[in-house]
Amino acid sequence: MTTFYLIRHGQTEWNRERRIQGHLDVKLSEEGREQALRAGQALQGEGIEYIYSSDLSRALETATIIAQELEMPVAGTLCDLREINFGDWEGMSIEQIAAEEPEAFAEWREDTVNRSVPGGESFGMMAKRVLKCIIDLGKKHPENKVAVVTHGGPIVYTLGWIMKLTLEEQLQIKIANCSISIVEYDPQAGEWEILKLNDTSHLD
C-alpha cells in the first residue's frame, strides 16, 4: 500500500494577484515559504520516506523546505507533475482574458475538458499525464509513504478521479496553497482511498 501526501506549493505573488501561472516559473512569496515551513513541521512524525516534486520553482522550493524539516533529500523532480499549460494566457487574470479575448475564452469555457487553451493544453491532457505519473510512483514505491509536491490542477484531478467525479465536477474542488491531502493506493488491486482532503489546519 502506497500512502501519498499530496501537497500544493506555497503561495506566490501571482496567486495573490490571481494571475494564471501554468508552466511559467514563478517563485514563492515570503508567505509561501512560511507555509512550506509549517507544512514540513506538520509532516514530522508521519514517517515519509520519499519526496517528489514538480520541476517548477514554486513546487521545488516548497518541497526543499519540507525536505529540510524532515531531514531528507528531495528524491526527484517530475515534469509530468506540472500545472496545466495555459499557453498564451499565462500571466493574465481570468478577468483580463475574458475582456481581451472574449471569443476564445467563451469557446474554451464551453469545453474545458477537451478544448486546449491557445498555445497550451486541455484539462484532459493534463489529467492523463498526471494520473500516469502518480500511478507510476505508486508502482515504484508500493509499500512506502511518499510526499508529492505539485500544483492545484494535478491535485484536484487526482482527488476527483478517485471520487469518480466528471472533469467538470472536479473543477469545483478547492485546494489551498500548502494544503495536505492524503490518499492510499494499492498497486496490485488498483484501489484508492482518500484519508484527508485539503487539510490546512497547520496553517491556522
Residue 151 a catalytic site member: no
Q: How confident is the model at residue 2 (pLDDT cuts 50, 70, 90)?
A: very high
Catalytic residue among 61, 83, 90, 121: 83
CA dist 40 and 24 (Å) reads 25
The grid coordinates listed for 75 are 528524491
Burial class (CB in 10 A: 0-12, 13-18, 19+), 66: buried
Give the CATH H-level superfamily of domain 2-203: Phosphoglycerate mutase-like (3.40.50.1240)
CA dist 22 and 92 (Å) reads 10
* pLDDT recorded at residue 151: 97
pLDDT tens, position by position, 151-184: 999 999 999 999 999 877 887 899 999 999 999 9
Span 81-94, mean pLDDT? 92
Bigger pLDDT: 200 vs 15: 200
| 10, 32 contact by CB (below 8 A) | yes
